[in-house]
């Protein structure tokens, strides 16, 4: 199979590096364009990330030799790529994402800037693959032919939205209370000062609670021709905390259903859950998207974040709640499922559905 050429915007950052690592042996996609800020533009990739390569495995030799383009070099991107992943910070996403899409380059973004845009799907492939139909309306509305923007959700929410999705159709959700414990890597590099996070928990992440409450309701929303109507039958309250672990976002969840199911039925629904990525056997999809841990003290961040090559959600500690119906703990890897791995899974689904050509 001839591989599809892809670009990475913000290639030198925390998420950009993860994209390079996970795409280097991808069966369908091949990296052919890298762009970053003017600090890195013009350098070989290996020189630009010298002293700030955060990945466990060494940088691939061939990828290290690629030159980094200026983010302004949209023309080269257009010549070299079928689509791009954006790992830009919000301020740069605001300027460049529409410029790339209007140059007819499809874009799968990790940035938050477009998540609230009325015609942009926030894609969590196991949950709302159907929302991709919005791409046609986005293109029509904005006068784009091949270009479009699809975003992936905030990294905080995969650990609770996917386990809740597995229950939602059988057991409609009424009220959800979530407390997240989020890793330092979620703040990018250099991120939070060691003096602030060492021996500490910070009960505030700028803008995170708003995203963690609003984005799930859009993901669970109904597609009505040219827009998504957010779900209005679920009440959701989220507390977000930064904790001193490197990778892995945990969520402690209490949930009330329209009718209380048995705990056996919940565990069975988690174990049997398969979404569109599993049905299509997409390369980045974990075969078991939700892994239920029987042990009383799991999931644990260090032990379980790499389940399913970093793409599975581990859940555990399902028990009755004296206020709501049940409580449980969910865990997902924030820079894999919550960032680059999740972005690649989105791209695979979008490509398979024929929106990239
Ligand atoms: P990061 O480590 O700060 O990296 C930012 C990247 O963007 C670098 O490659 C940087 O290039 C480039 N950049 C910065 N300003 C730019 C500009 N004006 N024009 C072009 N390129 C520019 O951030 P990150 O953690 O990788 O996050 C990237 C995006 O993903 C953010 O929107 C973030 O919110 C989102 N996200 C992050 C996570 C996570 O777990 N970290 C999870 C989900 C989503 P230089 O190296 O040249 O400066």
Provide the pLDDT for residue 210: 97
Tokens of 108: 């799968």
Atom of ligand 1 nearest to the CA of 18: 26
In angstroms, what is the span from residue 286 Cα to ligand 1's centroid? 26
Provide the pLDDT for residue 137: 96
Provide the pLDDT for residue 188: 86
Looking at ligand 1, which residue's alpha carbon is closest to its atom 14? 37
Looking at ligand 1, which residue's alpha carbon is closest to its atom 15? 37
Strands (E), the chain: 4-9, 29-36, 69-70, 83-86, 107-109, 149-151, 173-182, 222-224, 227-229, 235-242, 249-257, 290-293, 313-320, 326-332
In angstroms, what is the span from residue 343 Cα to ligand 1's centroid? 14
Which of 251, 275, 257 has the alpha carbon at shortest distance from 330? 251
Q: Please, are residues 35 and 71 in contact by the beta-carbon 8 Å criterion?
A: yes
Q: Please, are residues 157 and 165 in contact by the beta-carbon 8 Å criterion?
A: no
What 3-state DSSP class applies to 322? Answer: coil
Looking at ligand 1, which residue's alpha carbon is closest to its atom 17? 37
Provide the pLDDT for residue 190: 86
Q: Is 155 a catalytic residue?
A: yes
Sheet holding 313-320: strands in order across? 235-242, 173-182, 249-257, 326-332, 313-320, 290-293
Provide the pLDDT for residue 285: 98
Provide the pLDDT for residue 273: 98
- Residue 344 main-chain phi, psi, to 5 deg: -65, -40
Q: What is the DSSP letter of 202?
A: B
Instruction: Determine the length of the chain.
Output: 357
Provide the pLDDT for residue 144: 98
Looking at ligand 1, which residue's alpha carbon is closest to its atom 46? 12
In angstroms, what is the span from residue 92 Cα to ligand 1's centroid? 9
Q: Please, are residues 224 and 137 in contact by the beta-carbon 8 Å criterion?
A: no
Atom of ligand 1 nearest to the CA of 40: 47
pLDDT in tens, 225-260: 889 999 999 999 999 999 999 999 999 999 999 999
C-alpha dist (Å) from residue 245 to 69, 157, 184, 292: 33, 17, 6, 22
Provide the pLDDT for residue 1: 78
In angstroms, what is the span from residue 82 Cα to ligand 1's centroid? 21
Q: Please, are residues 184 and 198 in contact by the beta-carbon 8 Å criterion?
A: no
Distance between CA atoms of residues 248 and 282, nearest Å: 23
Provide the pLDDT for residue 293: 98
Provide the pLDDT for residue 77: 98
Pocket of ligand 1 (CB under 6 A): 10-16, 36-37, 39-40, 71, 87-90, 92, 110-112, 155, 185-186, 188-189, 334-335, 338-339
pTM of the full structure: 0.97
Looking at ligand 1, which residue's alpha carbon is closest to its atom 48? 37
Q: Which one of 155, 240, 325, 333 is the catalytic residue?
A: 155
Mutating to test ligand 1, I would choose from 7, 8, 9, 15 the residue with most ligand atoms within 8 A of its C-beta, which is 15
Distance between CA atoms of residues 136 and 350, nearest Å: 12
Q: Is 77 a catalytic residue?
A: no
In angstroms, what is the span from residue 319 Cα to ligand 1's centroid? 38
Regions in the chain scoring below 70 on pLDDT: none
C-alpha dist (Å) from residue 266 to 21, 36, 46, 162, 213: 35, 45, 47, 13, 23
In angstroms, what is the span from residue 186 Cα to ligand 1's centroid? 11
């Amino acid at each position: 199979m001839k591989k599809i050429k892809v670009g990475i915007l913000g290639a030198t950052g925390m998420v950009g590096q993860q994209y390079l690592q996970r795409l280097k042996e991808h069966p369908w996609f091949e990296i052919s364009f890298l762009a970053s800020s003017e600090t890195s533009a013009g350098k070989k990739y290996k020189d630009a990330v010298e002293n700030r390569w955060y990945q466990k495995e060494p940088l691939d030799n061939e990828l290290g030799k690629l030159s980094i383009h200026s983010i302004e070099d949209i023309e080269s991107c257009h010549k070299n790529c079928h689509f791009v992943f954006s790992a830009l910070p919000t301020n740069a996403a605001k300027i460049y994402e529409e410029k790339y899409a209007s140059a007819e380059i499809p874009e799968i973004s990790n940035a938050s800037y477009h998540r609230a845009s009325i015609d942009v799907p926030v894609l969590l492939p196991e949950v709302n693959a159907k929302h991709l139909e919005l791409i046609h309306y986005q293109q029509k509305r904005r006068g784009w032919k091949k270009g479009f923007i699809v975003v992936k959700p905030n990294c905080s929410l995969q650990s609770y939205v996917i386990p809740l999705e597995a229950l939602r159709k059988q057991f409609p959700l009424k009220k959800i209370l979530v407390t997240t414990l989020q890793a330092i890597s979620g703040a990018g590099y250099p991120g939070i000062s060691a003096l602030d996070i060492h021996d500490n928990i910070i009960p505030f992440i700028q803008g995170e609670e708003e995203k963690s409450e609003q984005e799930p309701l859009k993901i669970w929303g109904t597609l009505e021709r040219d827009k998504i109507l957010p779900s209005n039958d679920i009440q959701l309250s989220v507390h977000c905390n930064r904790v001193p672990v490197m990778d892995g976002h945990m969520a402690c969840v209490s949930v009330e259903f329209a009718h209380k199911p048995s705990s056996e039925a919940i565990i069975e629904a988690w174990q049997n859950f398969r979404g569109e990525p599993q049905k299509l056997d997409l390369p980045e999809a974990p075969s078991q998207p939700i892994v239920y841990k029987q042990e009383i003290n799991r999931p644990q961040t260090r032990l379980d974040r790499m389940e399913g090559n970093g793409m599975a959600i581990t859940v555990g500690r399902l028990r009755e709640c004296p206020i709501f119906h049940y409580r449980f703990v969910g865990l997902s890897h924030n820079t894999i499922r919550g960032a680059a791995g999740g972005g690649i899974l989105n791209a695979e689904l979008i490509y398979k559905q024929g929106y990239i050509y």
